[in-house]
Chains A and B, each alone.
Chain A
């Protein structure tokens, strides 16, 4: 098949049609919905409601805060894991095994994994019973149903994303660059900070963006691990469709969430590129 613009267009037709039909069209409908009144007709009232109510803002800030911490935790845990896998595992089969181990949990339902954390963090869960058995605490700690437990649960789910993203970039780092740094007088830690880490940033950024976006839009984990005590915007949106029957408010909330997330990611990329002079 020759590479002509006709052939290229034909090949792209399928994916483009898919995106138009299942992504852009529903999204356009959603945007349209956010501007309607319950009785039909156009209005800005939904946006006014969403943007002026302190309750909605609190939920949004909660969502962003949790997502920020999830991204940080995934980076702090995921980067060393990726680095170790790429640079300190000599056997290619062991490395592949690690990749499989990272990906396999993703085949399990999020709900099941969330309940797993309830078992671990609950008042009669593994953590509490172990700490009591050792004698570190007298009565069980309240570990569940807080921002912390949501962060733990989401980080657990999203860690493979960050780790694999960093792995793929670390593999492309030219080892002779690290040797050159050592040759020029850099200790191993200095070589890492001056050479390896800056060159791995595109992978860190890509991983961060995906993790952040997935955290912001997460529904299952926050629902299960919040115990009703913590509110995040996705749960709020879900309630508009199932409890309060205000799809127009739900649509407005969705658009606001998306806009804020895009703004934050855009700012992140902008400042990162300026500061680091590395194309990300």
Chain B
């Protein structure tokens, strides 16, 4: 068995003049829960469908367990998909839906029955097995869709934004259930979503996509702490992005003639970069540590959101910084218009291009 269950090798997909996938390469490790994260049109669904066999690549290869999938139709691939709208067969009961896959494999009736029962038990739907999809709630339909896919014991389970149609509370519950299911089955899960919170909550690794390419690949924590680009920093969690300019001598200063900051630009070229710092890392008032960067700022607005104060401050040059310092006496006392020092640990912020 190859260590990586799926290898996407320089995959390109073009629809006429539109490039949906631009030279995408990805190794999916056996047993991992990996998420493809990005906004609409970034190519995440196209990539999932290419692995499933519904999209034929313009060039490049997909290998599952070392075997190339070029020219292999979806029904011969060892993967199964949970569709966005579930795609349950309306003219079959839940149990018949789930039995569809095993029956296609030519198993004996007894084997089919036991496998189907087991799959329905895993998703907790044995009691409703005889019902038709229209007689089931959205959440129940989703479980049937899940059971229908996992009953075939695929190498990779492909999930195409399966939680989008559920209400918030149910969605959060299903996120945990899917995670539990993943651990219980030990199956490789590939999950497509535009919801970064969902990706962070569920996935071992996240591939952040933009306009047909994978911009960053890593664990949720890695991506959150070390975003590679402005786009990633902005997409995951909240981020302050201070536009900075690089002087001729390489010094970085806040844009529009602001104060200099003790950071170095890696590329060394002049141009536009952003300094990223998360609101929860921005401290307001209080003592400034030796390893910290400090700037004077004026409070523009403050909002109480329960667990913290959200402060909006303007620094020299007019740019705004959001700070969520938790509950602090300073924050409480601060009035709009007052000037105060904002500061953060030097390595909590990073310089990002694009």
Q: What residues make up the interface of A, taking CB atoms closer than 8 Å to B?
A: 174, 176-177, 179-187, 190, 194-195, 198-199, 277-278
Contacts and interface: CB of A to CB of B under 8 A. Distances in A.
A186 B104 contact: yes
Nearest to B151: A184
B90 A199 contact: yes
15 contacts: A176-B83, A176-B85, A179-B87, A181-B89, A181-B100, A182-B54, A182-B75, A183-B80, A184-B101, A185-B75, A185-B101, A185-B105, A186-B100, A198-B91, A278-B91
B194 interface: no
B138 to A, nearest CB: 16
Contacts, number: 62
Given A183-B80, A185-B101, A174 B75 contact: no
B83 A184 contact: no
Interface string B64-78: 000000000111100
Contact of B73 (A177, A182, A184, A278): A182
Contacts of A186: 75, 100, 104
Contact of A179 (B74, B88, B104): B74
Contact of A184 (B90, B91, B148): B148
Nearest to A184: B101
B91 A277 contact: yes
A273 to B, nearest CB: 12
B75 A184 contact: yes
B133 to A, nearest CB: 11
A219 B91 CA distance: 40
Closest 6 CB pairs of A and B: A185-B104, A180-B87, A184-B101, A176-B87, A182-B74, A183-B81
A179 B83 contact: yes
Contact of A177 (B54, B87, B104): B87
B52 interface: yes
B236 to A, nearest CB: 30
Interface in B134-161: 148-149, 152
B104 A184 contact: yes
A198 to B, nearest CB: 5
Nearest to B160: A176
Given A179-B54, A186-B104, A195 B83 contact: no
Contacts of B85: 174, 176
Contacts of A177: 87, 89-90
A183 B91 contact: no
A129 B73 CA distance: 48
Interface in B266-292: none
Interface string B227-238: 000000000000
A199 B91 contact: yes
A181 B101 CA distance: 8
Contacts of A182: 53-54, 73-75
Interface in B284-342: none
Nearest to A177: B87
A184 B87 contact: no
B46 to A, nearest CB: 14
B222 to A, nearest CB: 32
A123 to B, nearest CB: 50
Contacts of B149: 183-184
B154 to A, nearest CB: 9
A239 B222 CA distance: 91
Nearest to B145: A180
B115 to A, nearest CB: 13
A182 B53 CA distance: 9
Contact of A185 (B83, B88, B152): B152
Contacts of B152: 184-185
B104 A190 contact: yes
Contacts of B104: 184-186, 190
A275 B209 CA distance: 49
A187 B91 CA distance: 19
Nearest to A277: B91
B218 to A, nearest CB: 29
Contacts of A277: 91
Given A179-B87, A183-B75, A185-B105, 15 more contacts: A177-B90, A179-B54, A180-B81, A180-B148, A181-B89, A182-B53, A182-B75, A183-B53, A183-B81, A184-B104, A184-B148, A185-B152, A190-B104, A194-B89, A195-B89
B83 A194 contact: no
Nearest to A185: B104
A277 B152 CA distance: 26
Looking at B74, B84, B85, B149, which has the most chain A CB atoms within 10 Å of its CB? B74
A200 to B, nearest CB: 11
A132 B100 CA distance: 53
A179 B54 CA distance: 8
A149 B85 CA distance: 49
Contacts of B52: 183
Contacts of A174: 85, 87
Nearest to B158: A183
Nearest to A195: B89
Nearest to A190: B104
B321 to A, nearest CB: 45
A173 to B, nearest CB: 10
A194 B75 CA distance: 14
A183 B89 contact: no
A177 B90 CA distance: 9
Contacts of A183: 52-53, 74-75, 79-81, 149
Interface in B91-109: 91, 100-101, 104-105
Nearest to B76: A185
Nearest to A179: B54
Nearest to B154: A183
